[in-house]
Structure 1
Amino acid sequence: MVSKPDNQMQAAFVEQVSEEKLLDCMRCGFCLPACPTYIQSGYNEIHSPRGRIAIMKGIRDGIVEWDSSTEEAIDLCLGCRACEPACPAGVEYGHLLEQTRAAVQSAKSTSLKEQVSRKVAFDHLFKNQSTMVGATKLVRAYQASGLQKNVRKIGFMELFPPMLKEMEKAMPVVPKQTKRKPLVRVNKPTMNIAFFSGCLMDTMFRKTNDHTIQLLEMLGCNIVIPEAQVCCGALHGHSGELEKAKWNARRNIDAFDLSEIDFIVNNAGGCGAFLAEYGHLLAEDKEYAERAKVYDGKIIDVSSLLVKLGISEKLKAVSHLRNDLITYQDSCHLRNVNRVVNEPREILSSIPSARYIELPSAGLCCGSAGIYNLLNQEMSLRILDDKMRDVQQTNASIVITTNPGCLLQMRAGIHRAGMSDVVRAEHIVDYLIEVLI
């Protein structure tokens, strides 16, 4: 990719990247052991959070050139934000990364192919839910028609890069899009909950959404699912399309009647983190800034809500034996942004028919990171292979996750490691329904 002249890139950084936030970094190095790319690159400083911040500031100040090496350093960042809990100065690295990618996107020259790909993805697929439904119908047709079996049989997938091959194997069976069952109405509910159904979750992972509703209804909640909601905007925001992310945020704020609900629940860690930062995203929007803060205050992850509703006591009453050995891989954004760490572990440890074992380095990214595993396959696979060695060390038969990207990545890793006969990966909600029903 050929950049426009440096003065244009510098101008974009001056306009869009906060100097105040950059100066918060004290270069102490506490972030280094928390950063997967720093570790995987052989402790290369340019691939650490403080190294990337130095690059951002250098470009903004006009003393560092934007070239292939600096572009690689920014592109190779997972955006997992594990550096933030480790930082004693409270550096808002995730916001700096979003600002940087937005600045780069506005200043660099892009090929026609990239322009078309971005337009399809961000102006259609992750903006209009009907487009997402149509796309997943094509995936379902590929699976149900027998084409998938034939493609695998003739070895056609061998023509694709390793990560794409593993992702194709790990892809869930896409359910037929049917009308959702009527929601249960409770006279004296424990809580009134709005459900953020998401774009990918409500199409490719529709079963998990249905199970989420089923669990919450079992625990006495009244649920509403606003029809006007759209994609959370996380993929837009993480890919340098901040203005388009703001459009999605405004649509979602308008879609929910916040006065009638206790919480807005979601079951995807990446979505939940972005939803909970609408206040930051729209801080300069006079019409939406205050509403966004109220919206943020209503966001809750499904595992946190289940703990509030007493799921642990319900699980302890389960009498049938399963004898599962389970472990848990954190969703980076659920852990590092929403700071939800203990709740999933508390739930899983409450199941009498299962034994929970902690996964070594569970807090380190699995290498999925949205579409990172497709754009930076080599680094993603190195991280994933290390993760699979950790899974093998536990001897667990089930790996639990709380995010669709993590789930696909872990399933791909299980296939890649040849462990499909002894290990499977499940979303926490699907596993809980399996235990309770």
Structure 2
Amino acid sequence: MPKPAAASLKETLTLKLDYEQLTNCMRCGFCLPACPTFQETGVEAESPRGRISLMKAAVDGIMEPGISFENQMNHCLGCRACEPACPADVKYGQLIEQARDAVEVHTRQHRWWIKGVRKLVFDQLFPHQRRMRLLGKSLELYKKSGVQALVRKTGVVGAFSEHLSSMERILPDASGKGIVERLGSRIAAKGEKIGTVGMFRGCLMDVLFTETNMKTVQLLSEAGFEVVIPDTQNCCGALHAHSGESDTAKQLARNNIRAFQEAGVDYIVSNAGGCGAILVEYDHLLHDDQEWQEAARGFAKKVMDISTILVERGRPLNFADREAEENPIRVTYQDSCHLRNVMKGGSRPRQLLSGIANVSYMEMEDAGSCCGSAGIYNVTQPDMASQILEHKMEKANATKAHYLVTSNPGCLLQMKLGIDKHGRSESMKAVHIADFLFDRIVK
């Protein structure tokens, strides 16, 4: 029997929040220096400790959760930098998703048109790969038809929002043909086969970063892996889980588990930190689903980031920048929050970048702090996202790097936006690590 619907937000929070995790917080404050929103504002409620206190106060009946409560839950980036800093190992990421899920059930903020957009994006678009490819085809036509040039010339987007206008300028080349349409669903290993890898192609990655997906597969092939791309896989569900759409996230997880089970792969590889972080936590997402618990655990254990599998499992590859033999190029790295904080994969990209001949690796100050992208945070919270990005660009500019490399599409677009705003497009380029590595393979 399903639980009866709760009558109030407090009751829903009580049903959804893990009270043991709420009480695990010792209020020590170790999370404060790691939290981007607290660092920007200095307000206690903008910290993980503060938000946990609000959650617990609501559940304990000390306060009635209202608009201010909802705003604080939504103002969190979800970067989870607080988790490695926490001596009590509080699962803050799980708490914030549970709180947002409760808020979404009893939301007071969404206007009718926002609800319509959410339903379109979360229910009708992202879960359906064919519709995503149609979106990619539409964006491709938008550019090739000359409409994009006209929009930019007239400044029509800027009339509604300067932020959206800036984001439109850094929109990547989209495609209506994903990786399966380009390379097929099975790509043989080069040389002796080491193992079989299932490639998680993603939804936005497959239409906005198709070339990056292709180079990821080719890197894996060069490293000795046969690559299988299950056609029945779908969106990872990260945006849904982070936005309070947990039921849809769970269904997407079940579909992906089934798809990769049927593919019979040794590893499941992601080239997007945000996707990888939820894939590796499918066991938590489905912890209360007895039918799928065991399969979810098995799936999560197989998930690896592209940099991690190349270093730890693949045949060693040689990388060099031939054009930089006389004038070495400088490269810096911006962490994907979820790759670093959830998948614990921050060291492997640096190891690969540092091993490229004729490339000087420059560590950026606070490279592990969030860039402000955070899924759709830079759209829903543009002011805070811009503030965080501005401070990030100060650190990036200080490296004097020619290339700013990252491992997540959202981070990549956010850093492109920062470079564009600072007028650095001629001297600095933001690239995905798979693109940067593949273009420098020595065969």
TM-score with structure 2 setting the length: 0.94
SS at match of 1:163: helix
Q: CA deviation at 1:167?
A: 1.2
1:52 aligned onto 2:51: yes
- 1: distance between equivalents of 2:330 and 2:63? 51
2:138 corresponds to: 138
Deviates more, 1:375-384 or 1:168-177: 168-177
- Letter in structure 1 aligned against 2:352: I
1:169 corresponds to: 169
Structure 2, unaligned runs of 5 or more: 1-5
1:350 aligned onto 2:355: yes
Aligned partner (choices 268, 273, 281) of residue 277 of structure 2: 273
- Letter in structure 2 aligned against 1:295: F
- 2: distance between equivalents of 1:228 and 1:281? 20
Sort the Cα spacing of 1:30 and 1:229 in 2 relative to 1 into closer, same or farther, 3 A.
Answer: same
- 2: distance between equivalents of 1:40 and 1:99? 25
Sort the Cα spacing of 1:385 and 1:357 in 2 relative to 1 into closer, same or farther, 3 A.
Answer: same
1:371 aligned onto 2:370: no
- 1: distance between equivalents of 2:60 and 2:40? 29
SS at match of 2:388: helix
1:92 corresponds to: 91
Deviates more, 1:250-259 or 1:75-84: 250-259
SS at match of 2:88: coil
2:227 corresponds to: 223
SS at match of 2:431: strand
2:152 corresponds to: 152
Q: CA deviation at 1:190?
A: 1.3
2:3 corresponds to: none
Aligned partner (choices 188, 191, 199) of residue 185 of structure 1: 188
Kept in 2: contact 1:84–1:92 (CA 8 A)? yes
- Letter in structure 2 aligned against 1:68: I
1:299 aligned onto 2:298: no
Q: CA deviation at 1:348?
A: 0.2
SS at match of 1:240: coil
Kept in 2: contact 1:163–1:373 (CA 8 A)? no
Sort the Cα spacing of 1:308 and 1:108 in 2 relative to 1 into closer, same or farther, 3 A.
Answer: same
Kept in 1: contact 2:199–2:268 (CA 8 A)? yes
2:425 corresponds to: 420
SS at match of 1:197: coil
Count of residue pairs the alignment pairs up: 431
SS at match of 1:203: helix
CA deviation profile, 1:291-310 (whole Å, cap 9, x unmatched): 00000000000000111245
- 2: distance between equivalents of 1:208 and 1:21? 38
- 1: distance between equivalents of 2:317 and 2:142? 42
- Letter in structure 1 aligned against 2:405: I
2:118 corresponds to: 118
Aligned partner (choices 330, 345, 348) of residue 340 of structure 1: 345
Kept in 1: contact 2:134–2:176 (CA 8 A)? no
Kept in 2: contact 1:175–1:207 (CA 8 A)? no
1:383 corresponds to: 388
RMSD: 1.8
TM-score with structure 1 setting the length: 0.95
Sort the Cα spacing of 1:310 and 1:288 in 2 relative to 1 into closer, same or farther, 3 A.
Answer: closer
SS at match of 1:315: coil
Q: CA deviation at 1:156?
A: 1.7
Q: CA deviation at 1:176?
A: 4.8
Kept in 2: contact 1:328–1:359 (CA 8 A)? yes
